Structure 1
Amino acid sequence: MSLLDLLSADQAVFTAWSGIPDPLTVDALAATAVDAVTLDMQHGGHHEDSILRGIAPILAANKPAIVRIPVGRFEMASRALDFGADAVIAPMVNTVADAEAFAASMKYPPLGQRSWGAGFAMARRGHSDPARWLGSQNDKTLALAMVETREALAILDDILAVPGIDGIFVGPSDFSIAWTNGAAINPGLEDMMSAIEDIGRRTRATNKHAAIYVVDPALSGRYISYGYRLLALGTEQRYMTLGAQQLLNAARASVV
C-alpha cells in the first residue's frame, strides 16, 4: 500500500528514520517490522546519490519511501519524487512563501511547477502509462511541511491553506527550543503539549495529514490521540544501541 492509502485508512504508520547513506543499511531497515522508511538529508548523511539508491530497497520491501530534504532545498523535493518517494518532508517552513515554493516543487501543473522526468519512479513501481501516472501523482505524493517554530505556528492555518500542502510534520526538538526561547531542548516538554495537540487537531480538521517525530516511544499513544498518524521512531544508532543492549542483557542474565 502507498503511504496515502495507509494514512487514508486512519491507521498509525510508524516510519524508521535513516541517516546512514548506505543502501545496504536502508535495505536492512526496510526488512524490519516498520511500516515505512524515511531517508534524512537534513541532519542525516543522505545525499542525492544515496536517495536514488536508497529508495529502491524500500520499494522492493513494499513499503512507502519518505525523504526529508535539507532546509530550503525544494528542488530536491522534485528529485526525490522522480526517484520514487511517496512523500517529502520539508524542514523549517516558516512562511507562506516557503510553503508555496515547497508545494510548487511537489506538484505537476496546473497545481504546481514540477517538471516531467518520472522514469525511475515509474519503472520502480511497474507503471508504463505516462498519462495515467501524470494524472495520479498530485494526489498520491504527499508534501509535508515541518512546523517547528513559533513563527510557523502563528501562520499554521495559512500554511495549511496553501494548495499542494498535504500535511504538517512536527519536529518537537526544534519546537521545544523555540518554545523556550532557546533555554532548553526537551521534545517531551509538557508545557508545549497543548500546542502540539492544537497543531494535530487543526491539521486533521482541514482533512490533511498530521505527522511527528517521536523521541520517546511512550508518547506515541498521546500523539495519536491528538490526530497524528505518521510517527517517526529513532535512528539506526538508536536501534543498534537498544538491540545490542537487549541481547547483552539476555546473554548476561543467562550466566549463573
Structure 2
Amino acid sequence: MSLAARLRTGESVFSAWSLIPDSQTVELVAGLDFGAVTLDMQHGGHHEDSVLRGVGAVRLKGKHPVVRIPVGRFDMASRALDMGAETVIAPMVNSVEDARAFAAAMKYPPVGLRSWGPSFAMPRAGASDAQSWLANENANTVAFAMIETRQALAALDDILAVDGIDGVLVGPSDFSIAWSNGATMDPALEDMMPAIASIAQKARAAGKHAAIYVVDPLLVGRFHAMGYRFFALGSEGAYMTDGAPAMLAATRGSIKG
C-alpha cells in the first residue's frame, strides 16, 4: 500500500528524518520502526546523488521514501519522484503561486506538468505497465506544501484549493519564529497552538492531509487530536542520543560490585 493510500484511510504514519547523505546510514534508519524515511535536502546534507541512492535503501527495507527539497527547487520534486520517492515536501510555500508551481512539478497532465521519465521509479516500485503507472501515479504521490510563515497562513485556503497539492506540513520551529515576529524559536510555543490546530482543521475540511514535524514526541497525541496524521520525528543524532544512554545504563547496571 502506498503512503498516499495509508493517509487516505486516516492511518497515522511516523516518518524518520535523515540528514546524513550516506546510503548505508539511510538503510540503518530505514530499518528502525518507522513507516517512512524523509531525506532532507533543505537543512540536511542530502543532495541529488544521495537521494538517488537513499531512496533505494529506504525501499529495500519496505518503507515509504519521502524527500524534502530545497526552497524553490520544484524541479527537484520531479526528479525525486523519478528516483522513486512517493512523497515530496516543499518548504516555504508562502503563496498560491508557489503552490501551483510545486503541484505542476509533482503531477502528470492534466493536473500538472510533470515530464515522463520514471526509469528508476517504476522498477523500484515493482511496476512494469507504463499505462497503469500514468493512470495511477498522480493519486499515489503526495505533495506536501510546508506552512511556516504568516504569509503562508494567510494564503492557506488558496494553497489548499490548488489541484495537485495533497496536504500541508507544518514546520513549527520556523512557524514559531514567524508567529513571535522573530522573538523566539520554540516549536512547542503555546501561543501558536490555536493556529497550528486551525491549519489541520482547514486541511481536513478541504479533503487534504495534515502533517507536522515534531520535536517533542510527547506532543504527538495533542497534534493527533487536532487532525494531524503524518508525523516526522527527530533525526539520526536524536536517535543516537536517545539510544546510547539506555545502552550504556544497561551495560553499567550489569556490572556487579
Alignment of 1:75-154 (within 5 A): 75-154=75-154
1:204-223 aligned within 5 A: 204-223=204-223
Contact 1:41 1:67 survives alignment (8 Å): yes
What's the offset of the Cα at 1:254? 3.3
> 1:179-212 deviations in whole A, cap 9, x for unaligned?
0000000000000000000001110111110000
Alpha-carbon distance, 1:253 to partner = 3.0
SS of 1:6's equivalent in the other structure is: helix
Does residue 201 of structure 1 match 2:189?
no
Instruction: Kindly provide the amino acid, as one letter, of the partner of residue 10 in structure 1.
Output: G
**Root mean square deviation of aligned Cα:** 0.8
Residue 52 (structure 2) pairs with residue 52 (structure 1): yes
SS of the equivalent of 1:71 reads coil
Task: Supply the distance in 2 between the matched residues of 1:12 and 1:130 (Cα, whole angstroms).
Answer: 30
Shift of 1:250: 2.0
Question: Per the alignment, in what secondary structure is the counterpart of residue 238 of structure 2?
Answer: helix
- Is the Cα–Cα contact under 8 Å of residues 2 and 63 in structure 1 kept in the other structure? no
Structure 2 counterpart of 1:30: 30
1:146 positional shift: 0.1
Letter in 1 for 2:46: H
Q: Which position in structure 2 is the counterpart of 1:183?
A: 183
Counterpart of 1:106, as a letter, is M
Aligned residue number for residue 192 of structure 1: 192
Equivalent AA in structure 2 for residue 27 of structure 1: E
Aligned to 1:252: 252
Deviation for aligned residue 1:102 = 0.3
CA distance, structure 2, for counterparts of residue 167 and residue 79 of structure 1: 20
SS of equivalent residue, structure 1 residue 20: coil
Q: What is the percentage of aligned positions where both structures have the same residue? A: 62
Q: Answer yes or no: is the 8 Å Cα contact 1:68–1:89 preserved in 2.
A: yes
In the alignment, structure 1 segments of 5+ residues that lack a partner are: none
Structure 2: unaligned runs, 5 residues or longer: none
Match runs of 1:9-20 below 5 Å = 9-20=9-20
- TM-score under structure 2 normalisation? 0.98
Deviates more, 1:7-16 or 1:39-48: 7-16
SS class of match (1:81): helix
What are the Cα deviations for residues 223-256 of structure 1, in whole angstroms up to 9, with x where unaligned?
Answer: 0001100000100011011111111122233344
In 2, Cα distance between equivalents of 1:8 and 1:165: 14
Q: 2: distance between equivalents of 1:19 and 1:251?
A: 29
Shift, 1:166, TM fit: 0.3
